Amino acid sequence: TIKRFRRHGHESQRDRLKQELFHFNKTVEHGFPHQPSALGYSPSLQLLAIGNRSGAIKLYGAPGVEFMGLHDENAAVTQVHFLPHQVKQKHEYTTHSVANKAATLSLVSSPFCSRFSAPPSVTRVTAVLAHSSGELLLLGTEGGHVFVVEVPGFRELEERNISLDQVSNSVPDDYIGRRNLEHVEALQENPVNPNQVVIGYGRGLMIIWDLEKQRAIQHIPATQQLESVWWTEDGSYILSSHSDGSYCRWMVGAEDVNEEEEKSDIPYGHFPCKAISKIVQLPTEKGPPFLLFSGGMPRASYGDRHCITVIQNKTQVALDLTSRIIDFFVIRDGPNALVVLVEEELVVIDLQTEGWPVIQTPYLVPLHSSAITCSHHISTIPIKLWERVIAAGELQNTHYSKKVWANPWPITGGQNLAPDPPQRDLLLTGHEDGTVCFWDASGVCLYPMYKLSTAAVFHTDADPNDNMNQGTEGEWPPFRKVGCFDPYSDDPRLGIQKIHLCKYSGYLTVAGTAGQILVLELNDEAAEQTVEAKVVDLLQGQEGFRWKGHTRLDVREEPVLFPPGFQPFALVQCQPPAVVTALTLHSEWKLVAFGTSHGFGLYDYQQKNNVLIKCTLNPSDQLAMEGPLSRVKSIKKSLRQSFRRMRRSRVSLRKHHVNNAAKIQDANARLEAELAEMELAPVQRKIEARSSDDSFTGLVRTLYFADTFLSDSSHNTPSLWAGTNGGCVFAFMLRLPPVEHRADEPVTEIQLMHRAPVVGIVVLDGHGAPLPEPLEVAHDLARSPDLQGSHHLLVISEEQFKVFTLPKVSAKMKLKLTAVDGSRVRRVGVAWFGSSRSEDYGESGLVVLTNQGDLHVVSLPGVKMQVQYPCIRREDVSGIASCVFTKHGQGFYLISPSEFERFSLSTRHVVEPRCLVEVPLHSDNSTKHRPLSFLENNVKSQRSCLYNVLCHREFWSGCNDITNLLCLLRELTC
């Protein structure tokens, strides 16, 4: 009984400790929504809404104000509209899920059909108008009917519906006789008279309908296919855009519209033009209004351009965007701004500053401007390095709009209630075009800080003076390139595969697809220098091997001018030029270790000499003879040549190249899938020895520096550890003599064998704690490791965790993961988990992600399972492969090519939105113009009408003082 009691008490204490240390939560999504399909904006709440094809809706306000909702059905969101006055006041959300509390109405592919008796083909919603009263919703349908719905109850008001028969009976016979009206294309409210709405039909007819009198008061018989309508702010004109690339201006209230038609224009005629899909007129305080429209380009020469034209007075610019336009709107209150949602990014234009520059976005930044190929996270950045990176980034952003007003970002809804981040964190992403982006990952907004390009070191097919989007003086249309999305890489060999940054010294090393390893140093001034390549032959003269993959990159022999920021000063080129699969840097020892599928090497970047070269290639490994780009080499080459020709041509042929790019992406995806299948062995319950003839056995999976005991238990020495896909662990004892003799001392070797692919190596000191990072102890940010007791070596393979004693290298304990649940380790990292109840207590743990998408925390040094959480779908191979852990129990993984999902395993370190949205008080003008008929429905007497109005909460929100109250009462009684 006593034993059972003690065991039960111990387990209870362990469970309480787990609750204090571990808690899994998906906290926020960083980046740009995948496949956006709808855009909405609330001027009163100043919130932006984006819906996508998978049924998700995301709301954004001021930086840090973010909400997200997801439809139960997996259907595309086609429209998003904010319902006026329907948000409950003072809702505080501590997570990004708002469920049904959001102030939005989203339309999916088949909405509202079940509410009406008509068949779905007739009631499919094509246009929506959320009335300014906040009480009505007008739904235009494919059948030409307009349904009037009461909100928030969504009750159909049958007596107010506008049927197609009612409209047809009021249209002149000569018009209705020669054409059908078709579907409802547009619905717009009169800005000065909410009783009037314009209904636009697909064939061109527009009618102005009086909601109170329930009849048509004006017909506008346009003859071209209608695309959109816009009612000017003073209510005197209606603008309509059409499928032939024209727009027209119609006077409201004219008896004979044909004679009063003021303007009909085809901006980019006389040749056939594409449709103008949307048109907007924005008034200004001084000077002429802005006219903005999307589309309208000449079909033959510029039909594939995605453009929004901005016209004010005699100034006209065609904003050439990077992908298909989803929607746009203009912000009138405060700084005038144009907000454009395209398929791959959000672009905001400052219309108040001369030249109409782009405003840098604090969120929704396209992470995938070039495809993401790898990522690296660094926690707790020193303030000096942080400020230097910011300064280098600001020099790159001179083309953005300057802070000419109090708040440079025009969308300011809500309040960010989250406390300031306790530390400064960096997320580095490597990209296919050879760039490395630095992101501020401290808070909810993943903010771009600095962008490093490595392409200048090499000769590529790109001509820096050759730009197909370069406009010339007097060019027509007057194109101006905006946006940063550019998926085309001039040379896929530039792609970044591994990154390692030392936050204490400022040294950075990046490795690429063609076996190139660059070592860079942070410099605050521009510098012109030559980067010499050191070739490393990893085969070491092995006979019978013929490399069939891509060639290495050609290094520029002439000096290159590098801007302030990270500047390369050393380059290592592996031969064969295979993808670099492992990389690590030790800034205290001035060493860089790198590995490929053929072997690994050690480079002294202080002396610029090779210290160690080790070939791990198995002679029977035929797959190691081919690079990942070899099978699509001819397609890739032809694509680049096509781009060169296109940039020298005046005629745009981008659609053809997009098709080629799609082919290449498909081919690369197939190759990646094949590679993943090669690395992913079938799930098995029993751990079995693997044959040494398996493919890619020599591929280096992990590299690790450690100051530990290798030769004897009394002398610690620097060492390099390497783990391969074939289950080999190599240990090299390094002697670091004075600088002048760095290359003269021998290196000894210890080799261990482990059957499954080795994915991680960690050395634990005498206290069981992982060894600190280089220079961490020197900066008094970590305690010195225990060098008195024995050290332990933890080897993490795909199938188990095994602990060895050092220097004897004898097995001490192990945990078999595969034997337990059939999983295999895919990602591993060491993290510190602080207690949520005690600031002084915390534990180190091993964070593990498996091929099943599960997260595990394994205790150190005991190697016991602590907790397990499902995180990523097992079918999401790319999401699992992209996962990266932080040092404080958080992580990131790609849920789409453009979005990171952030999660936390820690109770203490959690980054999530904490924000508040308050409903602003309605102005007396809005209450004054609200039609009484909406409130007195089914009310028979004036007294009961007045009673209902006075009891209405929204009535009182517009009464600021007794004078306004008396005026409103006088209006009501009259």
Predicted pLDDT at 690: 60
DSSP string, 280-298: EEE--SSSSPEEEEEE--B
| 120-129, 216-225, 481-490, 547-556: the lowest-pLDDT one | 120-129
Structure tokens at 598: 């053929």
Closest residue by Cα to residue 526 from 436, 467, 462, 456? 456
Task: Tell me how far apart the alpha carbons of residues 594 and 602 are, in angstroms, rounded to a whole number.
Answer: 7
Highest average pLDDT, of 6-10, 37-41, 42-46, comes from 37-41
Q: What is the per-residue pLDDT across 401-460, written as a single tens digit (0 to 9) for each?
A: 875 445 689 999 999 999 999 899 999 999 999 999 999 999 999 999 999 999 999 998
Whether 283 has a pLDDT exceeding 70, the answer reads yes
Whether 746 has a pLDDT exceeding 60, the answer reads no
Q: How far from 342 is each of 78, 319, 784, 925, CA to CA, in Å?
A: 14, 12, 52, 35
Note whether 598 and 616 are within 8 A (CB): yes
Instruction: Starting at the earlier edge strand, list the strands of the sheet with 591-595.
Output: 582-586, 591-595, 599-604, 609-615
Closest residue by Cα to residue 68 from 29, 37, 109, 41? 29
Kindly report the average pLDDT of the chain as a whole number.
82
| 121-135, 428-442, 903-917: the lowest-pLDDT one | 121-135
Phi, psi (degrees; rounded to nearest 5) at 592: -130, 130
Q: What is the per-residue pLDDT across 667-682, written as a single tens digit (0 to 9) for each?
A: 555 544 444 443 333 3
SS3 881: helix
Whether 390 has a pLDDT exceeding 60, the answer reads yes
Element containing residue 439 per DSSP (H, E): strand 435-440
Highest average pLDDT, of 258-272, 651-665, 743-757, 946-960, comes from 258-272
Say what percent of the chain tops pLDDT 70: 76
Whether 944 has a pLDDT exceeding 80, the answer reads no
Assign 938 a pLDDT band (cuts: 50, 70, 90).
Answer: very low
Q: Which tops the pLDDT comparison, 187 or 918?
A: 187
| Mean pLDDT score, 180-194 | 92
HSE, side-chain direction, 13 A CA sphere, residue 305: 28
| 359-368, 409-418, 557-566, 746-755: the lowest-pLDDT one | 746-755
| 606-610, 664-668, 742-746: the lowest-pLDDT one | 742-746
Structure tokens at 629: 């780009």
Say what percent of the chain tops pLDDT 90: 56
| Mean pLDDT score, 108-129 | 64
| 47-61, 139-153, 685-699, 786-800: the lowest-pLDDT one | 685-699
CA 909, distance to chain mean position in Å, is: 22
Whether 728 has a pLDDT exceeding 80, the answer reads yes
Q: Which tops the pLDDT comparison, 822 or 259?
A: 822
Task: Tell me how far apart the alpha carbons of residues 164 and 811 are, in angstroms, rounded to a whole number.
Answer: 83
- At a CB cut-off of 8 Å and minimum separation 6, what does 775 contact? 502, 504, 505, 587, 588
Predicted pLDDT at 678: 38
Q: Which tops the pLDDT comparison, 300 or 930?
A: 300
At 529, which amino acid appears? Q
> Omega before 270 cis (within 30°)?
yes
| Mean pLDDT score, 915-937 | 51
Predicted pLDDT at 558: 93
Assign 33 a pLDDT band (cuts: 50, 70, 90).
Answer: very high
Element containing residue 257 per DSSP (H, E): helix 257-260
| Mean pLDDT score, 42-57 | 93
Predicted pLDDT at 460: 80
For 454, counting Cβ atoms within 10 Å of its Cβ (0-12 exposed, 13-18 middle, 19+ buried), the class is buried
Predicted pLDDT at 523: 96
Vertex 436 angle, CA 431 and 440, to 5° = 115
| 469-473, 484-488, 737-741, 869-873: the lowest-pLDDT one | 469-473
Within 306-360, strands assigned E span 306-312, 315-321, 325-331, 337-342, 346-350, 358-359
Q: What is the per-residue pLDDT across 700-720, written as a single tens digit (0 to 9) for each?
A: 999 999 999 888 888 888 999
Whether 212 has a pLDDT exceeding 60, the answer reads yes
Whether 120 has a pLDDT exceeding 80, the answer reads no
Predicted pLDDT at 17: 80
Entry field: residues in the chain: 974
Note whether 903 and 26 are within 8 A (CB): yes
Task: Tell me how far apart the alpha carbons of residues 429 and 456 are, in angstroms, rounded to a whole number.
Answer: 18
Predicted pLDDT at 468: 46
SS3 455: helix
Q: What is the per-residue pLDDT across 291-302, written as a single tens digit (0 to 9) for each?
A: 999 999 999 999
Task: Tell me how far apart the alpha carbons of residues 504 and 588 are, in angstroms, rounded to a whole number.
Answer: 10
Whether 865 has a pLDDT exceeding 50, the answer reads yes
Note whether 687 and 755 are within 8 A (CB): yes
| Mean pLDDT score, 272-284 | 95
Q: What is the per-residue pLDDT across 339-368, written as a single tens digit (0 to 9) for each?
A: 999 999 999 999 988 899 999 999 999 999
Predicted pLDDT at 809: 84
Predicted pLDDT at 173: 73
Note whether 339 and 346 are within 8 A (CB): yes
The maximal CA–CA distance of the chain, rounded, in angstroms, is 104
Task: Tell me how far apart the alpha carbons of residues 123 and 110 are, in angstroms, rounded to a whole number.
Answer: 9
Q: Which tops the pLDDT comparison, 488 or 421?
A: 421
| 16-20, 21-25, 876-880: the lowest-pLDDT one | 16-20
Predicted pLDDT at 946: 52
Q: Are strands 315-321 and 479-481 parallel, antiparallel or unpaired?
A: parallel
Predicted pLDDT at 967: 58
Query: How many beta carbons lie within 10 A of that of residue 255, not counting itself?
Result: 7
Whether 111 has a pLDDT exceeding 90, the answer reads no
Predicted pLDDT at 736: 82
Assign 182 a pLDDT band (cuts: 50, 70, 90).
Answer: confident
| Mean pLDDT score, 208-236 | 93
DSSP string, 540-571: TT-TT----SPPPPEEP-S-EEEPSEEEEEEE
Predicted pLDDT at 787: 79
Predicted pLDDT at 4: 43
Phi, psi (degrees; rounded to nearest 5) at 549: -85, -160
